[in-house]
């Protein structure tokens, strides 16, 4: 059983210098050292449930076709023709009839990436179709989520995610369905979003509605180092869920019971996932950094099938309000860390997970400190 404790910081625990939030060079370094080598969430398996169904995913400057094959397997194929490099697919999602065809010279590929036809190439000396399949990125499915990794030889997903395998079994996340999605375009660095999510030091000031439902000092963490950080906060007496009404939006999902009914679990999964587990629904934020000062965020609410739309909106409305409060203060922070007047400030104990995030982040960049 996990041991949950309050967040703490040690002596000399300071925020990161401004360049980590504003520098184009740092952002480019992150893309290569972190986003091109990590397991990144790109969507849900339910989005491409039928053979031929696909969605595009932008990952570390690359564009991937995530497609379900005739064999029901899901693959991540680089959206790059092996002939002249043309991007083949432009629609963000859809369904291929049986193959993927380049619009330039009609080279045609199977849903598994194999080259099926290359016009007038049969007379070219030495040409062999088997030598030119679409390039693949590694793909893994966990709890119904689809992850990709661009590294040539990535750590196996089962090894990278070992601390989380089975941890959320009670929520039966794989069998939940996306009931609502809201996309946001934020004028701030991706790390500020993760850091904001990882502390409730700000909650009484920024989120009075949240504080009414769940007291900020109730937070306890069982994961306080490494790529996965977080723990739970408890619902205040008299409230059933994090909704506008304060009532449960649905019965508990899966086999959630006991103390978990009165808790909300919040975990950041480095580098691009914020996973929030409520008794009655699951919320997930997926981050896609665009530049040092711009991040796209999708927020999805996962429910058991059959929940009424007004109940979904009760939960989504609460978090959309809360998200926008967080986005506003995160964008203000982006403006501040870009100032010549900004210097790293000391973390409070309530910000212990932020300091842990910084340490893992620096290690992933290959840096021993932020000096």
The pLDDT tens digits for 218-247 are 999 999 999 999 999 999 999 999 999 999
Q: C-alpha distances in angstroms, 270 versus 1, 40, 200?
A: 23, 8, 19
pLDDT at 12 (0 to 100): 85
CA torsion sign for 341, 342, 344, 350 is positive
pLDDT at 264 (0 to 100): 98
End-to-end CA distance of the chain: 38
**CA-to-CA distance for 275 and 257, rounded, in angstroms?**
19
pLDDT at 2 (0 to 100): 78
Q: Residue 277: which of 325, 351, 222, 225 has the closest Cα?
A: 222
**314, 247 Cβ separation under 8 angstroms:** yes
Task: Output the average pLDDT for the chain.
Answer: 97
Task: Write out the residue limits of the CATH 3.90.380.10 domain(s) in the chain.
Answer: 19-36+166-365
> Can you list the positions of beta strands (E) in 270-336?
273-277, 282-291, 294-303
Please, which pLDDT band fits residue 274 given cuts at 50, 70 and 90?
very high
**CA-to-CA distance for 278 and 89, rounded, in angstroms?**
37
pLDDT at 369 (0 to 100): 79
pLDDT(371) > 90: no
pLDDT digits (tens, 9 = 90+) for 296-343: 999 999 999 999 999 999 999 999 999 999 999 999 999 999 999 999
Fold adopted by 19-36+166-365: Naphthalene 1,2-dioxygenase Alpha Subunit; Chain A, domain 1 (3.90.380)
Task: Dig out the tokens for 162 from the structure.
Answer: 């070992």
Q: What is the pTM of this model?
A: 0.97
Return the CATH class of domain 40-158.
mainly beta
- Which residue in the block uniquely carries the two structure tokens 């380049």? 102
- Which residue in the block uniquely carries the two structure tokens 């089975």? 166
């Amino acid at each position: 059983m996990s041991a949950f404790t309050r967040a703490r910081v040690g002596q000399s625990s300071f925020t990161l210098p401004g360049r980590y939030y504003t520098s184009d060079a740092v952002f480019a370094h992150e893309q290569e050292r972190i986003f091109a080598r990590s397991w990144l969430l790109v969507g849900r398996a339910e989005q491409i449930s039928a053979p031929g169904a696909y969605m595009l995913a932008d990952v570390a400057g690359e564009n991937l076709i995530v497609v379900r094959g005739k064999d029901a397997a899901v693959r991540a194929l680089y959206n790059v023709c092996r002939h002249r490099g043309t991007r083949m697919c432009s629609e963000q999602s859809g369904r291929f009839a049986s193959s993927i065809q380049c619009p330039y010279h009609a080279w045609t590929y199977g849903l598994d990436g194999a080259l099926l036809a290359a016009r007038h190439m049969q007379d070219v000396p030495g040409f062999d179709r088997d030598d030119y399949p679409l390039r693949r990125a590694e793909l893994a499915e966990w709890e119904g989520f689809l992850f990709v990794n661009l590294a040539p030889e990535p750590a196996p997903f089962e090894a990278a995610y070992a601390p989380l395998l089975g941890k959320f079994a009670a929520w039966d996340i794989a069998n939940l369905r996306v009931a609502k999605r809201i996309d946001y375009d934020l004028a701030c660095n991706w790390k500020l979003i993760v850091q904001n999510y990882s502390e409730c030091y700000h909650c009484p000031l920024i989120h009075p509605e949240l504080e009414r439902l769940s007291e900020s000092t109730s937070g306890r963490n069982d994961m306080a180092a490494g790529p996965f950080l977080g723990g739970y906060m408890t619902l205040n007496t008299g409230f059933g869920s994090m909704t506008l009404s304060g009532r449960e939006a649905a019965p508990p999902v899966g086999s959630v019971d006991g103390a978990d009914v009165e808790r909300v679990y919040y975990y950041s999964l480095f580098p691009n996932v914020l996973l929030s587990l409520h008794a009655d629904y699951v919320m997930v934020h997926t981050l896609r950094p665009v530049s040092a000062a711009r991040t796209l965020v999708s927020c999805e609410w996962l429910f058991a099938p059959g929940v009424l739309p007004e109940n979904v909106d009760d939960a989504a409305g609460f978090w959309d309000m809360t998200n926008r409060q967080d986005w506003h203060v995160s964008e203000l922070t982006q403006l501040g860390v870009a100032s010549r007047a900004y210097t790293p400030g000391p973390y409070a104990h309530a910000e212990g997970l932020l300091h842990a995030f910084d340490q893992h982040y620096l290690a992933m960049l290959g840096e021993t400190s932020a000096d």
